Amino acid sequence: MATEIKAPQFPESVADGTVATWHKKEGEAVKRDELLVDIETDKVVLEVVAPSDGVVGKILKDEGDTVESQEVLGSLEAGSGAGGGDAKQEESKDDGKDDAKADQQKAEAKSEPADAGGGDDDAQAGPAARKMMSEHGLSAGDVKGTGRDGRITKEDVEKALANRQEKPASSSSESKAAPIPEAEPGEREERRVPMTRLRKRIAERLVSAQQNAAMLTTFNEVNMKPIMDMRKNYKDAFEKAHGVRLGFMGFFTRACVEALKRYPEVNASIDGDDVVYHGYYDVGVAVSTERGLVVPVVRDADQKGLAEVESQIIDYGQKAQKGKLSIDEMTGGTFTISNGGVFGSLMSMPILNPPQTAILGMHKIQERPMAVDGKVEILPMMYLALSYDHRLIDGKQAVQFLVTVKNFIEDPARLLLDI
């Protein structure tokens, strides 16, 4: 009996997705909850797992295909797929031609070597790799797959082509292949790859933010010495008590929340001709991943202490790198903090994260000579940037908000005393 493999139920904000990677081939045995296929949306990559033990049947949606919520991707057949006990039991229970033929095909698929050419190409290579192999007359047997389960990637094909240029063709299949022209001296190579859904979505949102908002940026600088001294004095005790390292993001999140309470326009959003004032403080924290920038949200940040904020940010960072963030964890947010300083940025103008009306940019801590009480001191300084939507936030409010954040960071005891 076959079970349908379906795409996940997408939220209302996600129209469709793209089949990114099949981790199993037709005829391959799987265990319950084992990863079958990744579905990439414009926000996250969703994993589809096996609903039960069985064998992957017909794959209906190949890599690169667009799928809608709950659309059938393929089927999962009962049995072990080993051509042994389960298959024989099915054969004896049902003398129908379809079941017997399916079992025979599975057995043949298992008996063929992994690098067989011809029809095996589709099962062994992704869409981009198959296209390149077809263009250059390669079969799966000509390419050594380094992907998961021996799957052939585009890079594997490129490597095989490079090796073929170095060695003359030795087989009849190679002699029939289209010749690869050698690069002319001084020729510059180019690679053309399609944007991922996430990258396209990021591009759309950034362009939209610049076109639809009256965006301005105000700057200030903050003396990080008080925070650094506090970390130095209490980091061991803090980590022992809470099980998490005392970082800077917790202080900045708390400082922003207190500043947002004083300037509610910075925590608001524009909806058509209406201004929506949020009575809660959901702070997004921008995280860079290999796939692009994502912004998980610390919910009700005003109700969380430093340890809770630090712990959640660390958890989000780990999930983001593994592609495990859920859509709910990245939905909403009333204000965003972006830290370009971790990459060495000294100053930048962060772009708004619609429909939010403000975003704080943190930057690299750098020692600079500063005038203090008529004397020059070397202090660890950080430039802060606040980009804001001038349609709602006036320059005075933006500057005062940023000064408030600066004051809390330079005198962190005020965060505890609420002054």
Q: Which two structure tokens, joined as six digits, stand for 117? A: 């050419």
Residue 350's pLDDT is what?
Answer: 93
> Is pLDDT of 383 > 60?
yes
Measure the CA dihedral 191/193/198/202, to 10°: 50
Using pLDDT thresholds of 50, 70 and 90, give the confidence band for residue 396.
very high
Helix, strand, coil abundance in the chain, percent, nearest 5: 40, 25, 35
Residue 42's pLDDT is what?
Answer: 72
pLDDT 10s digits, 241-255: 999 999 999 999 999
In a 3-state reduction of DSSP, which class is residue 346? coil
pLDDT 10s digits, 202-238: 788 788 888 888 999 999 999 999 999 999 999 999 9
The percent of residues above 90 in pLDDT, for the chain, comes to 39
Quick one: which of 234, 251, 358 has its CA closest to 309?
251
Using pLDDT thresholds of 50, 70 and 90, give the confidence band for residue 110.
very low
**How many Cβ atoms sit within 10 Å of the Cβ of residue 381?**
18
> Is pLDDT of 408 > 90?
yes
Using pLDDT thresholds of 50, 70 and 90, give the confidence band for residue 101.
very low
Cα(313)–Cα(292) distance, rounded to whole angstroms?
A: 17
Residue with tokens 């990245």: 330
Amino acid at 291: R
Q: Are strands 45-49 and 35-40 parallel, antiparallel or unpaired?
A: antiparallel
The catalytic residue positions are 390, 394
Residue 182's pLDDT is what?
Answer: 62
Q: Are 351 and 215 within 8 A, CB to CB?
A: yes
Cα(61)–Cα(296) distance, rounded to whole angstroms?
A: 30
> Is pLDDT of 26 > 70?
yes
The percent of residues above 70 in pLDDT, for the chain, comes to 81
> Is pLDDT of 47 > 90?
no
37 contact partners, CB below 8 Å, separation of at least 6: 5, 19, 20, 21, 22, 23, 24, 47, 48, 73
Lowest mean pLDDT among 38-42, 273-277, 363-367: 38-42
